[in-house]
């Protein structure tokens, strides 16, 4: 048996029997493999489940050869780019044990430190850190929604709330609740429902929890931030911050994500739109210069990124989601440790944008795929020197 060397490993749920073995990440991770090879590295993809089943190297890994997926036996990768998502219900204990085994026993280096990734993925603990670092984030009114009584207490404190899964992703399971003249109005992304009591609101949340095969105590309650809306659509701003070396991190690209008509979350995977921030803010807040708004948003994204680095060490990348409220204040909503690139892909073929602007977004997407591999090689080179 030939054992192949591997210096950069990508952790992802690879399914070789499918046409797109990496699901929605297939194109993106394929691009990562190409970029790593162009840098002179030896990359491969590893499914944590296969490592769990056979924990001693060599590991079964996958690579591209002449456009075809091939399997091989590989040494343990020295550097790891983690693209294995947690579930909406939280971390899979066995998968996290594999990551700990790779980092602690086999001494692989994750380009996003595991401690940071786990903290940021849990939205309640991440919120606490953001506040600790001195940035604005919507207040957590209840860390776990365990009863209708807790929900009622939250609705007595503020007039509108957002209910989210603690480990949510892709906009799943998010509800907005607003106090109305006679009771409450609940938005679930499909419809708006008026109810008369907090118990009825809790019943709707319980129903959505069951759809996700969860209990309500997997949800938390956060205050809602009133923002400018264009045609009654919610929006937020995604800033992708990355490293390519041990100098300063930088914002690779920024885009506005806008909810679908009738939607309650500005998530691309939930039918949302991608918009150019200069165009969006130019139409939304005509009294302010959109370039100045964008500059403030990107400075905030870099600020929180570097605050996390001050505690956890160098971070390879993060997607920072930010809101601008009615007074112009900026609020950090989430820190995403496995950010996608779909928003830049959409803008690269965006309707109404000039060809020059679309090309800029296509270039940003390529850069966003290349940068983690450049940084991984930087970490690898430093390790080799030591």
Q: What is the mean pLDDT of residues 275-296?
A: 84
The DSSP 8-state label assigned to residue 85 in this structure reads P
User: What is the percent of the chain with per-residue pLDDT over 90, rounded to a whole number?
Assistant: 71
The mean pLDDT of 114-130, rounded to a whole number, is 96
Q: What phi-psi label fits residue 74: left (phi over 0), alpha (psi between -120 and 50 degrees) or beta?
A: beta
Does residue 108 form part of some domain?
Answer: no
Going by C-beta distance under 8 Å and a sequence separation of 6 or more, which residues neighbour residue 343? 238, 255, 257, 268, 274
289-316 pLDDT tens trace: 889 999 999 999 999 999 999 999 999 9
Structural domain count of the chain:
3
Tell me the average pLDDT across 223-246: 87
Comparing C-alpha atoms, which of 178, 267, 157, 270 is closest to residue 226?
Answer: 178
Are both 127 and 271 inside the same structural domain? yes
Residue 263 shares a structural domain with residue 373 = yes
Q: How confident is the model over 108-134, as a mean pLDDT?
A: 96
The C-alpha atoms of residue 265 and residue 193 are separated, in whole angstroms, by 16
Specify the CATH number for the domain of residue 353.
Answer: 3.30.470.20
Label residue 67 left, alpha or beta by phi (over 0 means left) and psi (-120 to 50 means alpha). Answer: left
Same domain, 337 and 233: yes
Helices and strands in the chain: count of H runs, count of E runs = 11, 18
Residues 235 and 381 in one domain: yes
pLDDT score, position 211: 87
- What SS3 class is residue 245? coil
Mean predicted lDDT score pLDDT of the chain: 91
**pLDDT exceeds 70 at position 19:** yes
pLDDT at 352 over 90: no
Residue 63 confidence (pLDDT): 95
CATH number at residue 159: 3.30.1490
Q: Give me the mean pLDDT over the 94-118 stretch.
A: 96
- What's the pLDDT at 386? 59
Give the range of the structural domain holding residue 257, as residue numbers without chain letter.
117-137+228-385
In this predicted structure, the answer to whether residue 349 has a pLDDT above a threshold of 70 is yes
Q: How far is CA 75 from CA 37, 206, 257, in A?
A: 17, 46, 41
Helices 114-121 and 123-132, packing angle to 10 deg: 100
Q: Is the pLDDT of residue 325 over 80?
A: yes
pLDDT at 135 over 90: yes
| Arithmetic mean of pLDDT, 7-31 | 94
Distance of alpha carbon 320 from alpha carbon 373, whole angstroms: 20
Q: Do 154 and 202 share a domain, yes or no?
A: yes
The answer to whether position 110 is within a domain reads no
Instruction: Look at residue 111 and tell me if it is in a domain.
Output: no
Q: For the purposes of burial, counting CB atoms within 10 Å of the CB of 372, is it exposed (0-12), middle (13-18) or buried (19 or more)?
A: buried
Task: Note whether residue 334 is domain-resident.
Answer: yes
pLDDT classification of 287: cutoffs 50, 70, 90: low
Confidence of residue 285 (pLDDT cuts 50, 70, 90): low
Q: What is the pLDDT of residue 271?
A: 77
Is the pTM here over 0.85, yes or no? yes
Average pLDDT (150-169) is 90
CA distances from 64 to 14, 46, 381 (A): 13, 13, 24
pLDDT confidence band for 261 (50 / 70 / 90): confident
| Residues 245 and 121 grouped into a single domain | yes
Same domain, 296 and 373: yes
pLDDT score, position 364: 96
Same domain (yes/no): 355, 246 = yes
Q: Which residue has the tokens 């809790």?
A: 202
**How far, CA to CA in Å, does 339 sit from each of 5, 121, 170, 318, 334?**
28, 11, 10, 6, 11
Mean pLDDT of 63-84: 95
* pLDDT higher at 283 or 255: 255
Residue 230: what pLDDT? 64
The answer to whether residues 255 and 355 belong to one domain is yes
Highest mean pLDDT among 33-42, 143-152, 204-213: 33-42
ω into 58 cis (within 30 of 0): yes
pLDDT value of residue 366:
97
Tokens (6 digits) for 150 = 């807790």
If pLDDT is split at 50, 70 and 90, which confidence band does 343 have?
very high
Q: Answer for the pair 218, 210: CB distance below 8 angstroms, yes or no.
A: no
Residue 109 lies in a domain: no
Q: What is the mean pLDDT of residues 368-381?
A: 97
Q: How confident is the model at residue 279 (pLDDT cuts 50, 70, 90)?
A: confident
Look up the CATH number of the domain holding residue 46. 3.40.50
Same domain, yes or no: 363 and 322:
yes
More confident site: 189 or 348 = 348
Residues contacting 112, CB < 8 A, separation 6+: 82, 315, 316, 317, 318, 337
State mean pLDDT over 226-240: 82
Work out the pLDDT band at 88, boundaries 50, 70, 90: low
Q: Is 112 a member of any domain?
A: no
The closest of 232, 233, 236, 221 to 325, measured between CA atoms, is 236
CA neighbor of 89 nearest in space, from 209, 5, 4, 205: 209
Residue 226, judged by CB atoms within 10 A of its CB (0-12, 13-18, 19+), counts as: exposed
């Amino acid at each position: 048996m030939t054992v192949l060397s591997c210096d950069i490993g990508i952790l992802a749920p690879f399914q070789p029997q499918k046409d797109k073995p990496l699901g929605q990440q297939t194109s993106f991770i394929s691009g990562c493999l190409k970029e790593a090879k162009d840098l002179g590295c030896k990359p491969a993809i590893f499914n944590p489940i296969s490592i769990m089943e056979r924990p001693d190297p060599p590991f079964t890994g996958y690579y591209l050869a002449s456009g075809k997926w091939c399997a091989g036996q590989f040494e343990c990768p020295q550097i790891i780019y983690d693209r294995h998502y947690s579930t909406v219900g939280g971390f899979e204990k066995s998968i996290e044990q594999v990551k700990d085994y790779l980092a602690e026993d086999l001494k692989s280096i994750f380009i996003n430190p595991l401690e940071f990734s786990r903290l940021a993925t849990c939205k309640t603990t991440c919120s606490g850190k953001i506040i600790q670092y001195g940035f604005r984030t919507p207040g957590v009114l209840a860390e776990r929604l365990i009863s209708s009584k807790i929900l009622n207490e939250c609705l007595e404190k503020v007039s509108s709330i957002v209910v989210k899964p603690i480990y949510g992703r892709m906009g799943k399971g998010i509800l907005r609740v607003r106090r109305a003249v006679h009771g409450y109005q609940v938005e679930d992304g499909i419809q708006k429902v008026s109810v008369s009591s907090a118990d009825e609101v809790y019943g709707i949340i319980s129903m959505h929890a069951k759809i996700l095969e969860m209990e309500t105590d997997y949800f938390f309650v956060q205050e809602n931030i009133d923002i400018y809306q264009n045609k009654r659509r919610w929006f937020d701003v995604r800033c992708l911050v990355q490293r390519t070396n041990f100098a300063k991190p930088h914002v690779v690209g920024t885009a506005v994500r806008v909810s679908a008509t009738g939607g309650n979350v500005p998530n691309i995977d939930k039918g949302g739109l991608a918009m150019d921030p200069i165009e969006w803010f130019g139409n939304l807040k005509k009294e302010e210069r959109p370039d100045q708004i964008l500059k403030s948003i990107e400075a905030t994204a870099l600020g929180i990124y570097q605050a996390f680095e001050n505690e956890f060490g160098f971070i390879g990348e993060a997607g920072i989601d930010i809101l601008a409220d009615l007074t112009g204040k900026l609020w950090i909503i989430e820190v995403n440790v496995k950010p996608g690139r779909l928003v830049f892909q959409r803008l690269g073929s965006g309707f109404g944008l000039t060809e020059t602007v679309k090309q800029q977004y296509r270039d940003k997407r390529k850069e966003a795929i290349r940068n983690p591999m450049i940084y991984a090689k930087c970490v690898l080179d430093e390790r080799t020197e030591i």
